[in-house]
Structure 1
Amino acid sequence: MLPLLTIPSILRAAEPDLSALSDITTATAPIGEAERRARIARAQRLMKANGIGAVLIEAGSSLIYFTGVRWGRSERLTAAVLPVEGDPCIVTPFFEEPSVRQTLGVPADVRVWQEDEDPLAVVAGFLKDRKLAGGAIGIEETVRYFAVNGLARVLPEARLVSANPVVRGCRMIKTAPEIALMQTATDVTIAAYRWTWPRIEKGMTPSDIGALMNAATRKLGGDPEFALILIGEAAAYPHGSRAPQRVADGQIVLMDCGCTVQGYQSDVSRTFVFGAASAEQRKVWKDVHDGQAAGFAAARIGVPAGSVDDAVRRHYEALGYGPRYRLPGLSHRTGHGIGLDGHEPVNLVHGEQTLLAPGMCFSDEPGLYLPGKFGVRIEDCFHMTETGPKWFSQPPASLDAPFG
């Protein structure tokens, strides 16, 4: 048995040495009241344009976006109602009000309900007070059925409609402060990758590598969101395998990692080979690199989002992959929207008709997957500017220098 006093030193030795890293997020500014007031004003303009009198939003990222309130969902409803004019209303349990107010970032009418009361009746009361109960009420797309059904029951005269024209119309178009936070989150992830990569050793498991990546991310000032590590054949399955995996010579290592800074997300994937790469691994990596470039080149202001996915698939099919989602090939969409949520509308997928516009943000990750062998994914996010797409992170130039 080891002496008790030696145990802490062993634990310290097992921890990674992060002394070379420092917080790179100290200059970031959180989203403030003025920004949220501007979001509400834009939502109200969109409500008027679409004939919607109010929008119901449950706890979650849209509630944060408009009001700043950070709250988890439970059986007890906490929600916001955005009226077409005036300040929003926050509806929450009586005993939760002090906690809810701690993150409330805009002026609001806070109304509470007791445990033996119906929270949807409180929502209805606000709408009646604002003379909005008889018109169209927009429902944010993630609101749960019990809330929608409850509102329909207490306001039978109201017309419940989709709030997508309003909520998506705001959230899909990122402002400069949002873009800045997403850029910082991406900078953290790239820096964490560069620190982690040379520390990967033979025999490591995905959890070993993920622990290094997350530790570096925290030291750099980000909040780790996910660290998916796929080794060897597991990389042929986009979201992984439960089969045991360890780093070995000549094996693909696929890392898909992201973090948040002030709530805004990064999402970056890199694929490399531990040791010497085979000719096949090099070819597939280059095919993915070129496929990602084809998607980026197709992202132009005013084109349908689905046309980006179409351009990638045309490129891959010309190389003999597919067709469409058939393997070996690209078995998932080319990319997804990103912002406060890691995945948010709209997607870069065949058939999506939403037109690309300045401020939209997407991942570009058209991986190639060879069942029984390996997979390769290179993922970087971009945002649309007036003149076209701009990378948050620069794609790698080669398999041998995956992190620049």
Structure 2
Amino acid sequence: MAQLQYADCTSKRPVRRSRRVLVWVIFITILCSSLYISYLSLLLLPRIFVLPAALFNKPLLDLSDFSNLADHCAAIPPIPLSDFVSRQRSLVKRLRETNAGAYIAEPGSNGLYFANISSAQWHLSERPFLIIITPAERPVTEASFTILAPRFEIERAKLLGIPIIRGEGLGSQSIAFIEWAEDEDPFNVLFKALPDSVTNGTVVLDQGMRKFIADGLVGAGLTVKSGGYPPRIAQIREQKSAAEIELLKCANEATVLAVREVKRRLRIGMTESATRKILEQAMTAVGLTNGGGLVLFGENAALPHGSGTDKRLEYGDFILMDVGGSLHGYVSDVTRTFTISPPGSIDPRHLELWYVVLAAQKAALKAAQRGVYARNVDKIAREVVKTGLEDYGVKMQERWRFLGTNDQSQENFDVNDYFTHRLGHGIGLEGHESPYLVGGQSNRAVLATNNTFSNEPGVYILNKVGIRLEDCFYVPENGPGVLLTEGVGGLSASPWEP
């Protein structure tokens, strides 16, 4: 009997141990399943449960919520009179060098640059309004102004406040106003009023002048300088003054700050259009006019200027914002590609491409020095992207499948299929102005001191991902380009830190 009892006792121990193991297995299985289901829920919730559009399409914040941005550019003054006079003197010098009697422009970017008259101040219409700048007789370094305006608008024209040295003594400048009646030919009226030095010589017409205006001036008897718009005159505006660079710095810094504030307010499920509205609010709050830009989520960013759809933000998406605004007429241009999703939810191939684009941006900035051909800066950025795409393919072992091609020969790989636009453009009173950072032997532009450019390499893979990073910079007297966004940290630090 004792042996039987002993045998019964020992036979129960493995049963109890097995039960404990089974309980632990069931517990761990349930725990892992719960964690996995929770993870899937986080990924799928935005897709299967979309909150009403009205919730996402109304602004999340009032302008007062951006009050921390309001003072960033408040102390930056507009362009001073001394800068305008310096520009006018440079123009007079170029006119004399080219034996031209006058420079004629309409309200616009060059009208704003030389005479502080923009197309916003004087709306262009079928009625000619012209700014004529001629070398003064005394002193020979100064500019004289003539304004052609409709008779019924002449008093308004006199209120425009053209920046000149006013007074009666030597060195003062003059403005003549020529009016034309509705039943008169304005071009003939102007021709008869201009001095012989203009009518018997040649004139330079602004490169932005409308064709019917140019035709009217030629038809009245003026002779236009041959050879197109003189590069020497274009270079005046291309090389910025210290005051211009300060304005561009503050405008670009403010734009970066606005983007960062918008990032803090982004939520999964928001639409591109709702985000644009918040972005516009932030740009207004930071003190910039005409602020706004592109907002593209996920695969929509593979089209550099947008898809025309209104995608909702999903986990794992990159967010591309290409943003600009204006400060006293000077324009910002900043692009950030970033994410609000945790690292584990981002396709590692997308992350790798992001760092390739950043490397191209850094290489271009380092190469952008005085005396360098603009086309070579574009070339250097393109080479970095090409190498990055090739290395990326080796590491991931599926480059060709991901890039959407079955041709796996290195000879047929063209970086321009993925880095589809030029590296950059000049920036100042216009968002895009000369000179340009673009490849090709036809681009003979050479970087000069105080040229200002955008630096915006990108990689775009259709239906998958688009990444672009953009910061503007100026060319110093010596050394590499200096970021206009340096005061707020400069380049993006990571895909989570724009």
TM-score (ref. length: structure 1): 0.91
Counterpart of 1:375 in structure 2: which amino acid? G
Provide the aligned length of Structure 1 versus Structure 2: 390
1:382 aligns with 2:473: yes
In the TM superposition, residue 273 of structure 1 has moved relative to its aligned partner by 2.1
How far did residue 186 of structure 1 move? 1.1
Any idea what the Cα deviations from partners look like across 1:214-251, whole Å, max 9, x if unmatched?
A: 11121121113332101111100110011231111111
For residues 85-127 of structure 1, the C-alpha deviation after alignment (integer angstroms, 9 at most, x for no partner) is 3412121222223333333323422222222222222332343
Question: Could you say which residue in structure 2 is the equivalent of 1:45?
Answer: 93
Following the alignment from structure 2 to structure 1, what is the Cα–Cα distance between the partners of residues 203 and 98?
11
Q: Does 1:30 align with 2:85?
A: no
Give 2:379's aligned amino acid.
D
Write the distance in 2 (CA, Å) between the matches of 1:32 and 1:103.
16
Cα separation, 2, equivalents of 1:346 and 1:102: 34
Q: 1:202 aligns with which of 261, 268, 274?
A: 268
Asked whether the 8 Å contact 2:100–2:225 carries over to 1, the reply is no
* Aligned residue in 1 for 2:110: 62
Counterpart CA distance in 2 for 1:324 and 1:122 is 57
CA distance in 1, matches of 2:60, 2:455: 39
Provide the aligned C-alpha RMSD in A. Answer: 2.1
Q: Which moved more, 1:46-55 or 1:291-300?
A: 46-55
Partner of 2:429: 340
Matches within 5 A, 1:5-404: 15=62, 17-70=65-118, 71-85=122-136, 86-107=143-164, 108-127=175-194, 129-155=195-221, 159=225, 162-275=228-341, 276-320=345-389, 326-327=416-417, 329-351=418-440, 352-388=443-479, 389-393=481-485, 394-402=490-498
Partner of 1:7: none
Give the Å deviation of 1:326: 3.5
Comparing 210-219 and 155-164, the one that deviates more: 155-164
- Give the match's secondary structure for 1:66: helix
Distance 1:157 1:313, change over 3 A: closer
Whether the aligned pair in 2 keeps the contact of 1:139 and 1:160 (CA below 8 Å) is: no
Once the two structures are superposed, residues 37-85 of structure 1 have per-residue CA deviations (whole angstroms, 9 ceiling, x without a partner) of 1111001111122232211111111101111123222111112111133
* Separation in 1, partners of 2:96, 2:413: 44
Q: For 2:294, give the aligned amino acid.
A: L
Q: Do the aligned partners of 2:295 and 2:320 also contact (CA within 8 Å) in 1? A: yes
Whose helix proportion is higher, 1 or 2?
2
> C-alpha offsets along residues 302-361 of structure 1, whole Å, 9 cap, x if unaligned?
11111111111222223347966632x210000000000000111100132111111110
Asked if the contact 2:283/2:291 (under 8 Å) is kept, the reply is no
Distance in 2 separating the partners of 1:349 and 1:164: 21
Query: Secondary structure of 1:382's match?
Result: strand
Are 2:205 and 2:224, in contact at CA under 8 Å, matched by a contact in 1? no
Q: Against the structure 1 CA distance between its residues 12 and 325, is the aligned structure 2 distance closer, same or farther, given a 3 Å change threshold? A: closer
Alpha carbons of 1:14 and 1:339: their partners in 2 closer, same or farther (altered >3 Å)? closer
Cα distance in 1 for partners of 2:314, 2:69 equals: 28
Moved more, 94-103 or 140-149: 94-103
Q: TM-score, normalised by structure 2?
A: 0.74
Bigger Rg over Cα: 2
Distance in 1, matches of 2:102 and 2:414, equals 41
Q: Secondary structure at the match of 1:88?
A: strand
Q: Is the 8 A contact 1:50 1:165 kept in 2?
A: no
Take 1:73 and 1:175, find their aligned partners in 2: how far apart are those partners? 28
Structure 1 residues 171, 205: closer, same or farther in 2, change over 3 A? same
| Partner SS, residue 198 of structure 2 | coil
Give, in angstroms, the shift of residue 166 of structure 1: 4.5
Q: Deviations over 1:118-142 (max 9, x none)?
A: 2222332343x25221222111111
SS at match of 1:274: coil
Q: 1:243 to 1:383 in 2, by over 3 A?
A: same
Q: Which runs of 5+ in 2 are unaligned?
A: 1-57, 137-142, 165-174, 391-411
Aligned counterparts of 2:115 and 2:196: Cα–Cα separation in 1: 19
Moved more, 151-160 or 264-273: 151-160
Distance 1:157 1:224 in 2: 38
> Is the deviation greater in 95-104 or in 134-143?
95-104
Letter in 2 for 1:387: N
Report if the CA contact (8 A) 1:137-1:159 is conserved: yes
Amino acid at match of 1:111: I
Distance 1:386 1:297 in 2: 14
Whichever structure has more strand as a proportion of its residues is 1
What's the offset of the Cα at 1:294?
1.6
Instruction: Report which stretch shifted further, 154-163 or 211-220.
Output: 154-163
Deviations 1:261-299 (A, max 9, x none): 101011000001231322011111001001111211211
Q: Which runs of 5+ in 1 are unaligned?
A: 1-10
Structure 2: distance between partners of 1:260 and 1:159: 33
- Paired with 1:161 and 1:222, the residues of 2 have a C-alpha distance of 38
SS across alignment from 1:55: strand
